[in-house]
Structure 1
Amino acid sequence: MPVQAFSFALFLFCYYAHAGTWSTYATLFFADKGMTVAQIGVLMSMIQVLRIVGPNVWGYVADHYDRRVLVLRVAGFCALAGFSGFFFGAGFGHFMLAMIVLNLFTSGQAPICEALMLSEMKGDLTYYGRIRMWGSIGFIVSVTLASLALERYGIMTLPWVAAALLVCTIGAAFRLRDVPRRVHREAPPLLSALLRRREVIAFFASTALMVAAHTSLYTFYSLYLERNGYSKTVIGAMWSLGVTAEVLLFYFQAPLFKRWGAMRMMYLALAVAVVRFVMIGAGSHMLWLLIAAQLMHAATFALHHSSSVMTLQRWFSGSLQARGQALYMSISYGVGGSLGGLFLAQWWERAGAESVYYAAAALALLSALAALLSFRWQRNDAY
């Protein structure tokens, strides 16, 4: 077990508690402030758009100056300063500025924390899942407790809850310590050279397509269930079910990766994703089928995420560790998430709600083909 395992788990718990609570309920806060649906859509899109920029900026700073913990702490204070904007003013432009500042600084924190974890683990990812799962647990606990607070005290409680969680994240960052980098005999390759390699391009194309497919869930799943007559209680239970399955997979994944390797696990995750999205599209009025599809979140998110992180270590380690994690976040969740959300929103308007999940299945299939090319092009078949 890594020396800082508890500190990593605590930081991820607090970070995802804030991110989950704010992203889940911010739409209700903005609506209460008089924002239109279109304005809310633009404001919420900043979460994905800033993931294109933020992780790369802070990943470069962290690697260049070799002060990753300091960057985490400074980013936390700057994010809190930006978040204070939600306590004052009520205009669209005001909220847009606050969203930009908040997400510019928070978007790079998770990749830097994971880079620290990977450095301390020195290539042994046996305990990666058991630490990473605490981020998912933080999401579940905070979103559930916040819903009770908002139900009792109203939506205007949200900024206070989210700000308190940001303060907790800063406090958790002060428990972390920088990890000495592993000394490599050879100089690391240039980042620009790595990004021109066809297997790396195919890998990032695959992860971006997979996240794009998952925007059918992140953006539309609650609305999809509501339109098909399910209550808010059922909708909340379905989200909790998916994240619970994710947590269990993170906890028990080590033996799977030891036996089968990252390549086979990624192929499995992508195959399950194709089936899962088809099931959601076909099972809108069959609750048992939707429940089965939610349990598959263990594979399509947790298994795929861990496979991606392990594969990423093949190219991005040492002095490139933080930037590698940042690129994964910005390309997959920033570019893939943004474009996927826009594409599937148009698809919903033109072809209907169910068809969104058939389109998501097609994106997952394209992701599998890109992953197949990436692994085929890798010279050392070590997976």
Structure 2
Amino acid sequence: MREVDGRPALKLRLGGAYAAFFLAMGIQLPYLPLWFQHRGLGPEAIGVALAVPMLARLVSMPLLGLLSDWLGRPKALLVALAVATACGMVLLALAADFLVILVVLAFTALAWMPSLSLLDSYASRQARAGQADYGKARQWGSASFLVANLVGGALVGMLGAGSVVLMMLAGQLAYVIATLALPELPRPEPRPAPVSGRRARLGVLAGIVAAALVQASHATLYAFASVSWRAQGYSFTAIGVLWAVGVAAEMALFRFGTRLVVRFGPHALIAVGGITAVVRFAAMASEPPLAVLVLLQLLHAFTFAATFLAMVELVSRSVSEHRSGTGQTAAAWIGSILMSSANVASGPLWAAFGPLAFLVSSAIGLAGALTALLAARLQPHSSGSGG
């Protein structure tokens, strides 16, 4: 701790950056629809407003990854995107007209949504250099998200829905400060990719698609689990506890997951995540009792956290350091496409089949597991760990 740029200080700064990033996200995901309603938007308009950021990030994510690698100053770009996002949130707080809200949302999402992938790229490079542990840094994002959910709900109850964007802005300003505290990385020398050959590159792509499929299997969970649990008669308190159990499980996995991914490799973790998703969502289709639901939520450690950690590690092992930003944003781009598609499909599936729609989630998880096993077979050799 005595040296400003020593490893303990860097670990604190990196963990702080993840924690700050997820403060605003922990307010946005559950409470921004309430702000839309406060501004007078109806259900159809809210649906459009929620879709706009998803489309915007599909445009900017790969471009910003290329820009990060071209500039060779990932910290500087993280700061610039953080400031741009904060400016967007200021404009959003002032916006009242529907079309203005949509334009500001699109502008803000262009900078905000890809920032997490670029932060993952930055963290994985520090891990590759032995300066940090990606999983242990990322766990603070999960913890912050949970705190923002709980504290944000209490503040919205006291201050009203009009305060939501202001709370998002406060979290984003914390992220601006956190990115400023990060040390800049040196520009890496261009080197050949660790993975070469058509078969090996196809294996990397298959691994990324496998992880994206396992992540997409959560779409119905995120959209309708609370609806399902409420219909079973569980209180809002019980529902909140169930979600908190899932976040706590992912935090534990992130803390110790680096050992797992080094020991077993990313493909194995993705396959385990997919198989766990088969079990988890097949069980949820039967509307199990509360005690079983708690156990199923603990499986979030494998269906989400292990799969996410494995995907970041797979990209870190497979691309040259000077292409890290491009690799991480490209993987996130593929994941966004599959998750968006699953989100769109989840509504009609739930309307038609109710909780049985979780069987489709189970099938998507199985597809992810099988794709991960195929990807492992396509790898001609083992790559070194990126940490």
TM-score (norm 2): 0.91
CA distance in 2, matches of 1:381, 1:234: 44
User: Which residue of structure 1 lines up, in the alignment, with residue 235 of structure 2?
Assistant: 231
Q: How does 1:328-367 map to 2 (within 5 A)?
A: 328-332=331-335, 334-350=336-352, 352-367=353-368
The reply on whether 1:129 has 2:135 as its aligned counterpart is yes
Q: Which residue of 1 aligns with 2:312?
A: 309
| Amino acid aligned to 2:342 | G
Equivalent AA in structure 2 for residue 109 of structure 1: S
Which shifted more, 51-60 or 121-130?
121-130
Which whole-Å CA distance do the structure 2 matches of 1:207 and 1:256 have between them?
Answer: 16
Where in structure 2 are there 5+ consecutive unaligned residues? 1-6
- 1:195/1:76 Cα in 2 relative to 1: closer, same or farther (>3 Å)? farther
Q: Does 1:198 align with 2:199?
A: no
CA distance in 1, matches of 2:77, 2:95: 29
Deviation at 1:54, TM superposition (A): 2.5
The AA in structure 2 aligned to 1:102 is T
**1:166-222, Cα deviation, whole Å (9 max, x unpaired):** 1111111100122125546x444999x989942233223212222221111222222
1:296 to 279, 299, 310: 299
- Give the secondary structure class of the aligned counterpart of 2:212: helix
1:230 maps to a residue whose letter is Y
Check 1:227–1:35 CA distance in 2 against 1; reply closer, same or farther (3 A cut). farther
Q: CA deviation at 1:131?
A: 0.9
1:315-334 mapped onto 2 (5 Å cutoff): 315-332=318-335, 334=336
Query: What are the residue-to-residue correspondences of 1:249-288 with 2, within 5 Å?
Result: 249-282=253-286, 284-288=287-291
Q: Which residue of 1 aligns with 2:111?
A: 105
Q: Which amino acid aligns with 2:261?
A: F
- The answer to whether the 8 Å contact 2:277/2:303 transfers is yes
| Equivalent runs, 1:135-150 vs 2, <5 Å | 135-150=141-156
Code of the aligned partner of 1:362:
A
Corresponding residue to 2:63 among 23, 33, 57:
57
Q: Report the identity percentage.
A: 25
One-letter amino acid matched to 2:141: G
1:87 corresponding residue in structure 2: 93
The whole-number CA distance in structure 2 between the counterparts of 1:320 and 1:24 is 34
Q: CA 1:167 to 1:195, structure 2 compared with 1: closer, same or farther past 3 Å?
A: farther
Alpha carbons of structure 1 residues 168 and 23: separation in structure 2 relative to 1, 3 Å: same
Unaligned stretches of 5+ residues in structure 1: none
C-alpha RMSD over aligned residues: 2.4
CA distance in 2, matches of 1:71, 1:188: 23
Amino acid at match of 2:343: G
**Match of 2:158, SS?**
helix
Among 13, 17, 24, the alignment partner of 1:18 is: 24
AA paired with 2:310?
S
Q: Provide the TM-score with structure 1 as the length reference.
A: 0.92
Q: Note the C-alpha offset of 1:338.
A: 0.8
Partner of 1:375: 376
Moved over 3 A (4+): 123-126, 181-184, 186-191, 193-197
